[in-house]
Structure 1
Amino acid sequence: MATDPELAVRGAVTDGEMHTLFAAAWGGDSDTSWAPILARSLAWITARRDGTLVGFVNVATDGGSHAFLLDTTVHPDEQHRGLGTRLVRAATEQARAAGAEWLHVDYEPHLTGFYAGCGFRPTDAGLRRLAPAPTAAPG
């Protein structure tokens, strides 16, 4: 029987690993540079199986009582095995240990059950896109 992926708080990651994981989980291509993002994070949790990055979650903060889950991602080959829940629980503990009183997460409707299972309750919130929407390449 295979062992569970190993979690690490503030685990080392490269942009290439993150791009590979996000492309597998979400599709598309990214040129995101993760070092500046992680430099401002309260914590992040990585999950590795046999050295390969298979999961990630980031915890941002306002520096006070609020923390925010961002980019919860699990490789499709690892989904529906509890890894996402383990990542969120580890991120929750990091936020709590840092003194956060509230942990926020935004999610799409199809993830309501997952986040409810992690202890979140739905709330009303607002969202405004600031960057222009991507345009389709001429075809």
Structure 2
Amino acid sequence: MSVAFEWRGRFTNAEITALHAAGFGPSAAADDWSGRLLRHSLGWVCARADDGALVGFVNVAWDGATHAFILDTVVAPTARHQGVGARLVRLAADQARAAGVHWLHVDFEPHLRDFYLGACGFRPTEAGLIALSG
């Protein structure tokens, strides 16, 4: 499968909602991805298959200055294990660097450690977390 990657690529809310559900499970609420991304993100990367289907996505939220955060990295089941996720993150990192970002953060579940620390080049750091719901 050939995949094209685009920084701040076009998408519909329905496409990202469906892709996100395939990766993380269905959301209880309708998502306004375009509004959220335009308000809070430095940018995002969309990956599309030859047939135009959205097969990958990553969001780069930021503080407006030197810190950015990788969120919502997701690859369609049909495009997994082909390097799509690593390319999404690499392009996101390149674009964040070009925008003057100094630090790119990510948090992840333990089963994604090899992906983020190995395939994507992040290094482990100490961090803290407070659960605000649940």
Say if 2:44 and 2:58, in contact at 8 Å, map to a contact too: yes
Say if 2:20 and 2:72, in contact at 8 Å, map to a contact too: no
Aligned to 1:137: none
Q: Deviating runs (4+, > 2 A) in structure 1? A: none
| Matched ranges for 1:99-118 at <5 A | 99-117=100-118, 118=120
Q: For residues 42-67 of structure 1, what are the alpha-carbon distances to aligned partners after superposition, in whole Å with 9 as ceiling and x for unaligned?
A: 01000011111110001111112111
Matched, 1:38 2:40: no
Matched position secondary structure for 2:41: coil
Instruction: Supply the distance in 2 between the matched residues of 1:31 and 1:123 (Cα, whole angstroms).
Output: 34
Unaligned segments of structure 2, at least 5 residues: none
Give the residue type in structure 2 aligned to 1:10. R
Give the residue type in structure 2 aligned to 1:60. A
Question: Alignment length, in residue pairs?
Answer: 130
Unaligned segments of structure 1, at least 5 residues: 134-139
| Matched ranges for 1:17-56 at <5 A | 17-29=15-27, 30-39=29-38, 40-49=40-49, 50-56=51-57
TM superposition shift of 1:120: 0.5
User: What is the TM-score with the length of structure 2 in the denominator?
Assistant: 0.91
The farther-off stretch of 83-92 and 29-38 is 29-38
Instruction: Supply the distance in 1 between the matched residues of 2:123 and 2:42 (Cα, whole angstroms).
Output: 22
Instruction: Supply the distance in 1 between the matched residues of 2:127 and 2:36 (Cα, whole angstroms).
Output: 23
User: What is the TM-score with the length of structure 1 in the denominator?
Assistant: 0.88
Instruction: Supply the distance in 2 between the matched residues of 1:62 and 1:13 (Cα, whole angstroms).
Output: 23
TM superposition shift of 1:128: 1.9
Percent of matched pairs sharing the same residue: 55
TM superposition shift of 1:99: 0.3
TM superposition shift of 1:28: 1.9
Instruction: Supply the distance in 1 between the matched residues of 2:81 and 2:94 (Cα, whole angstroms).
Output: 22
Matched position secondary structure for 1:100: coil
Aligned to 2:99: 98
Larger of the two Rg values belongs to structure: 1
Matched position secondary structure for 1:70: strand
TM superposition shift of 1:125: 1.1
